[in-house]
Amino acid sequence: MDLNILIGGEAGQGLKTVESLLTTILFRQGFYVYSTKDYMSRIRGGHNFMEVRISDKPVHGPTNEIDVLVALNDESVDLHLQDLNENGVIISASAHEDRRMERLPAKEIAKEVNPRAVNTVFIGGVIKVLGLALDEAETIIKEHFSDDKEVVEDNIELLKKGYELLDKAFLLERPGRDKEMMLIDGNSAVGLGAALAGVSYYAAYPMSPSTGILTYLARKQEELGIVVEQAEDEIAAINMALGGSYSGIRSMTGTSGGGLALMAEGIGLAGIAELPVVITDVQRPGPATGLPTRTGQGDLLFAINIAQDEFPLMVLAPRDQEDAVYQSFRALNIADKYQMPVIILSDQFLGDGSKTINEINLDKLEIDRHLITEQELAENGKYKRYKMTEDGISPRSYPGQFADQVVLIDSDEHDELGHIVEDAEARTAMVDKRNRKLIKLIKEDLQEPEYKGPEAIDYLLVSWGSTCGPLSEARDLLAEKAQVGMLAFNDIWPLPVSELKKRAAGAKVIVVEANTSSQFAKLIKSETDLSLFAEIVKYDGRPFVGKELYQKIKDEVM
Amino acid sequence: MDLNILIGGEAGQGLKTVESLLTTILFRQGFYVYSTKDYMSRIRGGHNFMEVRISDKPVHGPTNEIDVLVALNDESVDLHLQDLNENGVIISASAHEDRRMERLPAKEIAKEVNPRAVNTVFIGGVIKVLGLALDEAETIIKEHFSDDKEVVEDNIELLKKGYELLDKAFLLERPGRDKEMMLIDGNSAVGLGAALAGVSYYAAYPMSPSTGILTYLARKQEELGIVVEQAEDEIAAINMALGGSYSGIRSMTGTSGGGLALMAEGIGLAGIAELPVVITDVQRPGPATGLPTRTGQGDLLFAINIAQDEFPLMVLAPRDQEDAVYQSFRALNIADKYQMPVIILSDQFLGDGSKTINEINLDKLEIDRHLITEQELAENGKYKRYKMTEDGISPRSYPGQFADQVVLIDSDEHDELGHIVEDAEARTAMVDKRNRKLIKLIKEDLQEPEYKGPEAIDYLLVSWGSTCGPLSEARDLLAEKAQVGMLAFNDIWPLPVSELKKRAAGAKVIVVEANTSSQFAKLIKSETDLSLFAEIVKYDGRPFVGKELYQKIKDEVM
Amino acid sequence: MVDTAIFEADRETAWCPGCGNFPLRKALSESLAEMNLKPEQVTMFTGIGQAAKMPHYLKVNGFNGLHGRSLPPSIGMRIANPEMKIIVESGDGCTYGEGGNHILHNLRRNIDIVNLVHDNQIYGLTKGQASPTSGNEIKTPVQTHGVNAEPLNPVRFAVGMKASFVARSFVGDKEHLKAMIKAAMEHKGYAMIDIFQPCVSFNKINTYQWYQERVYHLEEDYDPTDYAAAVEKADEFGDKIPIGIIYKEEKATFRERIPYLKDKALVKRNVKPTELKNLLTDFK
Amino acid sequence: MVDTAIFEADRETAWCPGCGNFPLRKALSESLAEMNLKPEQVTMFTGIGQAAKMPHYLKVNGFNGLHGRSLPPSIGMRIANPEMKIIVESGDGCTYGEGGNHILHNLRRNIDIVNLVHDNQIYGLTKGQASPTSGNEIKTPVQTHGVNAEPLNPVRFAVGMKASFVARSFVGDKEHLKAMIKAAMEHKGYAMIDIFQPCVSFNKINTYQWYQERVYHLEEDYDPTDYAAAVEKADEFGDKIPIGIIYKEEKATFRERIPYLKDKALVKRNVKPTELKNLLTDFK
Ligand SMILES: Cc1ncc(C[n+]2csc(CCOP(=O)(O)OP(=O)(O)O)c2C)c(N)n1
Ligand SMILES: Cc1ncc(C[n+]2csc(CCOP(=O)(O)OP(=O)(O)O)c2C)c(N)n1
Ligand code: SF4
Ligand code: SF4
Ligand SMILES: [Mg+2]
Ligand SMILES: [Mg+2]
């Protein structure tokens, strides 16, 4: 079973609430859910739509075919009818000439009860069409509107009305669920990972599509006793975070491309001053303003090469919403361990999309701050912030931690104490010390990409970050035609190469990514001697779709 | 004949004047000169030195051996004695135990005449030691202090005293000169190229080592009738320049790494809005503040990948001071032709160093603004700023140029008129249109690297930008041992690959550059299928030296 | 007076129905028409935000640049072109937040432009976070317990900087707003108008009614050239909020301080490299 | 009082002999000692410039960050640590030029720090270009015909913003400067001192003598809490320039506006993921 519900309408019509309620209802009923948002950079009007794909097996991305088309306005029917399946259903307030049409005069129905709750009529209708029961829906409406009893009653009444008015079209059965699951969007996932990792300070400037991380953490700030601060600009944001980090607290920021550009110099400061910090870049198409609410993977080489000159940093790209929780947690640990900036490359598709994931396993999560203890200090004598060490990692202390010791960090090239130096030897030694940290990271912490497929393959598909889900769906389909394997990278820089070299041997390598110039393919070429067979790109601002990818690879490449 | 004069002392002792006068005197006497500056990021004190290398044949870079050591303080003797040639001479105010010592009690001598002109005594001394006549020196002192007759007289008196007190050690002969030559530093060269190209607006924020471009153009602004404006920050600088460009005037900015980082978003704006602009990045070691007055080539991949997502841009790196004039001129032409940002990658070595070059050939220089004419407009009908064209170049007009036509540019993705669009097709089409410009550029304007060496080679040395000079000196020395060729790149992005592929066939490729991770080598690998034999790097903030490079390549690589 | 219609200020927009940006656009296009300007004689520089979409919604030359960077490109144009009527327009977040450093220094430059700030005391386009002018009491998805910083009073700030023309207006008072725009356009030097512009979607505090109840016209005999009086008026921001020209000082503009520039239009400059031979003599 | 020597304010510097930074350092170290502070109790945040090298030249915790960015990292520390004495120190170019947006918004945040601005009315480290406070008459290699913009009067700007503590002092008057520093350190909230600091290498106009002839102490009965009086005093910048606390207003600080933060030192916060199980329930 694999079913896709599309809800279309104008900005300001409450699409997001419909999507969120429906997604939660279906999730609670035991379905695997994947929902995506396609919206314009405006507050009212235009055309937006949300898709909710459900299945009794895990779903990893969107699909193009529609089974239930919920049209909050007429335009939605015109725009999406072409994708409606033969046995699909249109739920709309006005009539359309299509045999699949089910009219639900929501406005009229709601007028008598509560006009503001008009969309709940549709929710009821959808549940009926799917052939499900109302019970879970009622619970969720109660939770959602818990503040106001009257509103709850109105909504339940309308839910029921919508339910009554339509007929069952599908006869879905609730899947059983043998373990705890969660439903989470990528932005909240990054925020959750950070919260679990003990982030105490999140300084950021609002920017679509990254604002969800900011608002998730802001919502939790009082409960956690942490501080979320809106900076005056992104330059302030990164420097505020670095100040927090210097002071001993885990600090983080997040933005999208244009904001990342403004943070570049500050990220370089984190590099030379050896300050841990995590920056999430939720990518959108650019450059400059570009398409503010769409998706893409165009920031890869910019992120890896961010800021003038060189310094160790790590760039990682979560594969999906579950991975995002763990990677965000891990990023904060790695930043602390190596005293360096870590960039998380997310994107609008991952950040705004929600997915059913396994419950986060808290027992697997261990925080290590890597701060020196009184005893370690005593062994070292005078505290040297940039002490030369074999692995390049200097003892880290924060101001005020120890009596009589001060902590000095510097954006100039410096000596072990943090004082400005200019001579050639000191410069070279300090660069080498910093670079040694990456060698250790590669040895101890780098994650090889996940492999999926048979041992002997003809084709090796390669994804990075959020393209994993759709490409994995494509691989499963392709596997019916040929011997196809797939590598899904989440660590991007430094680039892990052993699994890649191993799997690529004898296979035709196809790299799939959402930008125009195949940036990941370029990276592979500059870091290995591999020849690539094909590069598949997309840069229209829309996410990859598994079936589409399957078709494209089959037709154009294989 | 190949002779090197080092002048050492503290900041604030007037080293720069000594170097500049001496360099000019020797240049006027017909020598080929190459002078470099090694100074600290401070105003007084510390240890600075300048080197002036002269020859009767062209010189392309510094050397480490010293023939004349002019020590304005004692520390200079201590620090540089080790590099003094057997038959070298030390000129110093105080006595040192070395047979090569020539005492010149400049302070005492100057006290009686004019204490502020103390350094002129040394200039006189140097000229004598070299075995040259005073005539040219007198002329230049007169030019330099033209404002004040008394000062001129004092200086000439001291010049003569210094001359009288020392003995000839070298018996140089003035080389003949059969053509007009110029002596110019790299920063002025970029400024001069821009001035010749008709730059009307230079907006920048001071930053070592790029400030020389700003001050050169400021000095000329009144004469040229152009505007040089100090911005409040680098973000303003790039956006001010873009405003000028939009308005129809050639506009430019310049900075160093940290400032370039702050300009990243604005450069992306130039990309998507298709505004011509030239940005000079005079590289210094970083990241963050780093070594503000030293040299390096660490910004390469940052510059190529600057800003989020993708857009066509060009990056070029002048090979020397002469090339810098032409490349700066060319950069403004290319920016206008393709309506895109062009980054000039210079560095402190090139920017602060002065070289004897051939007179700039003005007849070779042609300005083309690529603005549409009234007639072209008429043929096109309504003006469309982003009209779809085969080669990706849309007709360019500026606001107010034509009655009834307005010019709209946009940082969002847009349609032909510049209005915001969000749909997938329009996005893809506009990205493709922009990208087509690079294809045309590669076909029509890309410069292959210069090749030097025999046709059949065993080794191919590769430089980019200012490393050309020292590497070329190393090649000449290596050519005595093996069949060695060399390619000197000045166009970096898009990367010209044909000459490289041709010369690399059958040769061992050795890439030489001033950064830690061999960025140009990475670029070659990602753009070609070449395997590289060796990568030679240096990142101590000091320029490459020909002989040193020769030694290193011979010992470690060959 | 030219026909207001030539400015096409009836184009479709992405603004919310009822938004204060509509009356602002109307007042602006009428002012331009009444000043007998044609679209090609006017250039609008904006940043990013709901306000900043303006150049798409009427016909003038437009530079829709980066968030926070509406002002800097306008300087480039003023240098290139002494004739062009330049309007810099953006939201309160764009102008006073991300772009704070530019307004700070362009008040000092006294560059001859008009700066219209759509002050809705909120970040509209990014869905309702606090802007620098948001009151402390406003709660948003980011400012969950209200705003931690004191609201910026842009007028007091600009008066404290002795900007050469500082005014406040309100989209709910079209005639006033038009008068302010025209006065600003006629003023020689930098002229800022902070314009109250209700955001019906995200700012539930500073509504049309909220402003209507508070704004009042400056007294007839108010003298905007009196600095002390201006400081006092600028500080009024509570139950009563004055609208009008709060401060005005005639002084040399940026262009006027460049002695050799005069009326020269650099956009007409024509350079021949061969005629610049004297540039080479410095290096000989 | 602790021994001033523990601050090691006699370290070698890269400053020019005779520079106004020397007396500033002396006054600072003496003030800290007289306030009984120890080096580890004080943290200094600076940007880049000659002034900004200060944390290398005396012993306190130091964050020598980016040009223009002296203020933002200090906010991170104030949030992490309520106890630490925080001094933000940098040049006029760094603070008011590149960093203008941060001072603009931190005046609003009223973050509890001391901001010492070395105002030499010039860019020292980059060899003498105009700074935002440079007078119009100064000519430099960039400002070849003088400065095109009006000089910023930082005190008038800060008073216009109603910053909670605005003072001006002069390195040539050590006792005054020390008194100002101590008052600023004791003040609850953001406290700025604009300090005249002659640059002997590049500013030949605003010399020791120039300042000496102009500065005068505020009258005994001057009331810095009187806004109107402060505005008037702030505007005096000519033949006579007042030094002292020009404006002062007690108000809630940034930390105080975060209700749940109180005296909590986040730097002591200890998190165990297994104890945060309730964070997962939102997603179930
Ligand atoms: C560098 C950068 N940071 C953040 C954003 C996201 N952004 C777009 S508009 C906006 C705020 C808009 O507020 P305002 O300027 O008040 O305009 P309004 O929408 O209220 O008219 C923000 C934060 C961006 N586009 N670029
Ligand atoms: C992003 C960036 N831009 C420019 C510079 C170059 N820079 C270093 S110090 C300085 C000006 C210093 O002036 P000021 O802050 O007044 O300090 P002073 O040297 O006068 O004490 C500049 C422009 C830089 N380091 N970083
Ligand atoms: S969000 Fe607010 S400011 Fe933006 S268009 Fe809607 S009502 Fe207007
Ligand atoms: S340049 Fe000026 S401010 Fe800097 S150290 Fe020298 S005298 Fe002081
Ligand atoms: Mg706003
Ligand atoms: Mg200064």
pLDDT, position B146: 83
Q: State mean pLDDT over A547-558.
A: 94
Q: Is the minimum CB–CB distance between B362 and chain C shorter than 8 Å?
A: yes
Asked whether C199 lines ligand 3 (CB < 6 A), one says: yes
Asked whether C122 lines ligand 1 (CB < 6 A), one says: yes
CB contact under 8 A, B232 and D125: no
| Residue B522 binned pLDDT confidence (cut-offs 50, 70, 90) | very high
Q: State mean pLDDT over A289-312.
A: 98
Mean pLDDT score of chain C, rounded to an integer?
97
Mean pLDDT score of chain B, rounded to an integer?
95
Asked whether C128 lines ligand 3 (CB < 6 A), one says: no
| Residue B378 binned pLDDT confidence (cut-offs 50, 70, 90) | confident
Flag whether pLDDT at A482 surpasses 80. yes
CATH topology of domain B183-364: Rossmann fold (3.40.50)
Which ligand 3 atom is nearest residue C20's CA? 8
Minimal Cβ distance to B302: which of A41, A256, A305: A305
Which ranges in B250-369 belong to alpha helices (H)?
A: 257-273, 300-304, 321-338, 348-352
Nearest CA, atom 5, ligand 1? A207
Flag whether pLDDT at C93 surpasses 80. yes
Domain assignments of chain A as residue spans, ordered by start:
2-165, 183-364, 374-444, 450-556
Asked whether D199 lines ligand 4 (CB < 6 A), one says: yes
Tens-place pLDDT, residues A147-185: 888 999 999 999 999 999 999 999 999 998 889 999 999
State the nearest Cα–Cα gap between C265 and chain B, in angstroms.
10
| Residue B290 binned pLDDT confidence (cut-offs 50, 70, 90) | very high
CB contact under 8 A, B243 and C63: yes
Q: State mean pLDDT over C40-61.
A: 98
**Residues on chain B touching A526 (C-beta within 8 angstroms):** 522-523, 525-526
Minimal Cβ distance to C97: which of A221, A228, A233: A233
CB contact under 8 A, A249 and D266: yes
pLDDT, position B558: 87
CB-based burial of residue A440 (10 Å sphere; 0-12 exposed, 13-18 middle, 19+ buried)? middle
pLDDT, position A177: 86
**Residues on chain C touching A231 (C-beta within 8 angstroms):** none
* Order of all β-strands in the sheet with D165-170: A408-410, D61-64, D42-46, D85-91, D114-119, D191-196, D165-170, D241-248, D215-217
What's the rounded Cα separation, in Å, for the pair B485 and B500?
11
Minimal Cβ distance to A289: which of B285, B412, B517: B412
Q: Tell me which residue range forms the domain holding C147.
A: 4-282
Range of lowest pLDDT (A189-198, B133-142, B235-244, D268-277): B133-142
Residue of C nearest to D256 (CA): C148
Q: Which of D12, D16, D195, D207 for a ligand 4 pocket mutation test, highest count of atoms within 8 Å of Cβ?
A: D16
Q: Is the minimum CB–CB distance between C14 and chain A shorter than 8 Å?
A: yes
| Residue D77 binned pLDDT confidence (cut-offs 50, 70, 90) | very high
Contact of B450 with B319, CB cutoff 8 Å: yes
Q: Which of A207, A232, A279, A283 for a ligand 1 pocket mutation test, highest count of atoms within 8 Å of Cβ?
A: A207
CB contact under 8 A, B269 and A287: yes
Q: State mean pLDDT over B63-86.
A: 93
| Residue D256 binned pLDDT confidence (cut-offs 50, 70, 90) | very high
Q: State mean pLDDT over B94-109.
A: 86
How do beta strands D241-248 and D165-170 pair?
Answer: antiparallel
**Residues on chain C touching B181 (C-beta within 8 angstroms):** 284
Q: How far is the CA of B205 from the centre of ligand 6 (A)?
A: 14
| Residue A100 binned pLDDT confidence (cut-offs 50, 70, 90) | confident
Contact of C130 with C143, CB cutoff 8 Å: yes
Q: How far is the CA of B214 from the centre of ligand 6 (A)?
A: 19
Helix (H, G, I), strand (E, B) or coil at A95: coil
* DSSP type of residue A545: -
Residues 12-71 of A with CB under 8 A from D: none
CB contact under 8 A, C80 and B200: yes
Mean pLDDT score of chain A, rounded to an integer?
95
Flag whether pLDDT at D245 surpasses 80. yes
pLDDT, position A65: 94
Q: Is the minimum CB–CB distance between C162 and chain B shorter than 8 Å?
A: no
Q: What is the three-state SS of chain C?
A: CCCHHHHCCCCCCCCCCCCCHHHHHHHHHHHHHHCCCCHHHEEEEECCCCHHHHHHCCCCEEEECCCCCCHHHHHHHHHHCCCCEEEEEEEHHHHHHHCHHHHHHHHHHCCCCEEEEEECCCECCCCCECCCCCCCCCCCCCCECECCCCCCCHHHHHHHCCCCEEEEEECCCHHHHHHHHHHHHHCCCCEEEEEECCCCCCCCCCCHHHHHHHEEECCCCCCCCCHHHHHHHHCCCCCCEEEEEEEECCCCCCHHHCCCCCCCCHHHCCCCHHHHCHHHHCCC
**Residues on chain A touching C126 (C-beta within 8 angstroms):** 206-208, 211
Question: What residues have a C-beta under 5 A from ligand 6, the ion?
Answer: D 91-93, 120, 124
CB contact under 8 A, B218 and D125: no
Asked whether D120 lines ligand 4 (CB < 6 A), one says: yes
A 10 A CB-CB count for D262 gives 10
Tens-place pLDDT, residues B472-513: 999 999 999 999 999 999 999 999 999 999 999 999 999 999
Flag whether pLDDT at B380 surpasses 80. no
Chains with 3+ CB–CB pairs under 8 A to B are A, C, D
Kindly report the CATH number assigned to the domain that includes residue D131.
3.40.50.970
A 10 A CB-CB count for A502 gives 11
State the nearest Cα–Cα gap between D128 and chain B, in angstroms.
10
Residue of D nearest to A188 (CA): D283
What's the rounded Cα separation, in Å, for the pair B159 and B132?
13
Q: Is the minimum CB–CB distance between C73 and chain A shorter than 8 Å?
A: no
Domain count, chain D: 1
pLDDT, position B333: 98
What's the rounded Cα separation, in Å, for the pair A3 and B493?
47
Nearest CA, atom 20, ligand 1? C124
Kindly report the backbone phi and psi dihedral angles of residue C272, in degrees, each rounded to the nearest multiple of 5, phi listed first. Answer: -120, 115
Percent of chain C whose pLDDT exceeds 90: 98
Helix (H, G, I), strand (E, B) or coil at A88: strand
Nearest CA, atom 1, ligand 3? C124
pLDDT, position A216: 98
CB contact under 8 A, D144 and B12: no
pLDDT, position B352: 96
Q: State mean pLDDT over C188-210.
A: 97
CB contact under 8 A, D104 and C104: yes
Flag whether pLDDT at A380 surpasses 80. no
pLDDT, position A96: 81
| Residue B58 binned pLDDT confidence (cut-offs 50, 70, 90) | very high
CATH topology of domain A450-556: Rossmann fold (3.40.50)
Chains with 3+ CB–CB pairs under 8 A to D are A, B, C
pLDDT, position A42: 83
CB contact under 8 A, B264 and A262: yes
Measure the N-to-C terminal CA separation of chain D; round to a whole number of Å.
59
pLDDT, position B381: 82
**Residues on chain D touching C227 (C-beta within 8 angstroms):** 235
**Residues on chain B touching D48 (C-beta within 8 angstroms):** 289
pLDDT, position D248: 98
CB contact under 8 A, C108 and D150: yes
**Residues on chain D touching C136 (C-beta within 8 angstroms):** 257
**Residues on chain B touching D126 (C-beta within 8 angstroms):** 206-208, 211
pLDDT, position A27: 96
What's the rounded Cα separation, in Å, for the pair A280 and A209?
11
Matching fold, domains A183-364 and A450-556: yes
Write down the architecture of domain A2-165 according to CATH. Answer: 3-Layer(aba) Sandwich (3.40)
Flag whether pLDDT at B156 surpasses 80. yes
Tens-place pLDDT, residues A341-370: 999 999 999 999 999 999 999 999 999 999
Q: Is the minimum CB–CB distance between C98 and chain A shorter than 8 Å?
A: yes
User: Taking the mean position of all CA atoms in its chain, how far away is CA C170?
Assistant: 13
**Assigned token pair, C24:** 């602002």
Q: How far is the CA of A89 from the centre of ligand 2 (A)?
A: 65
Q: How far is the CA of D48 from the centre of ligand 4 (A)?
A: 13
